[in-house]
Amino acid sequence: MIPHVDEVNVFDFDDTLVKTKSHIYVTNKKDGTSSKLTPGQYAVYSPKPGDHFDFSDFEDVIEPEPIHHMLMKLKYSVKKLGEENVFILTARGTPGPIRRFLEAEGVGGIRIIALGSGDPRAKAEVIRNEVESRGVKIVKFYDDSPKNVAAVKDLRNDLPGVQVLSFKV
């Protein structure tokens, strides 16, 4: 069991800490169209009936370009709060490639929660569970997706006495 803490910092991975050449491939089974989306485009994409998504590019970190100011913020958070109070919350389905990337950048030991889902409510639920299980009083959440930021910001209504700060980067 992780002990009570006052603050946790939560970071998305793609387009928050790093830019990659990974894409989401969309095929619409109704009309036969297909397209390729960057993580940033996917973050604001509105799915259409019949859409099928292929996330296979996210089984690795393809040609990563660190977003240096955000990696510095991550490193500072770990130094200030400790590894147990900073974590990565990603829609990716597997943590391994992210762990390898972060270790190469000098960040090891933090939790990586790989949801395998792009549903903004899934991220909000993980944060809700973190707050409720650990008695957290301050949450700082960093993400490039306006949908994810809004879903986490909405937790303010459900978690009285908890300061939820949700930042779009």
Q: Burial letters for 41-52: b for 16+ Cβ neighbours within 10 Å, e otherwise? A: ebbebeeeeeee
**pLDDT score for 132:** 94
Q: What angle do CA 44, 65, 130 make, to 5 degrees?
A: 60
Strand, coil or helix: 23: coil
Q: How far is CA 157 from CA 35, 162, 164, in A?
A: 37, 10, 10
* Mean per-residue pLDDT, 17-32: 94
Range name among 42-46, 67-71, 117-121, 137-141 with the lowest pLDDT average: 42-46
Tens of pLDDT along 111-150?
A: 999 998 889 999 999 999 999 999 999 999 999 999 999 9
C-alpha to C-alpha distance for 4 and 1, rounded to whole angstroms: 9
**DSSP result, 91-122:** SSS-SHHHHHHHHHTT--S-EEEE-S---HHH
Q: How is residue 57 annotated by DSSP?
A: G
Place of tokens 């996330």: 55
Contact assessment for residue 17 and residue 70, using Cβ atoms and an 8 Å cutoff = yes
**pLDDT score for 4:** 62
- Mean pLDDT (the chain, rounded): 93
Examine the pLDDT at 3 and tell me if it is beyond 90.
no
Contact assessment for residue 98 and residue 112, using Cβ atoms and an 8 Å cutoff = yes
Strand partners of residue 114: 90
pTM, entire model:
0.90
C-alpha to C-alpha distance for 3 and 156, rounded to whole angstroms: 22
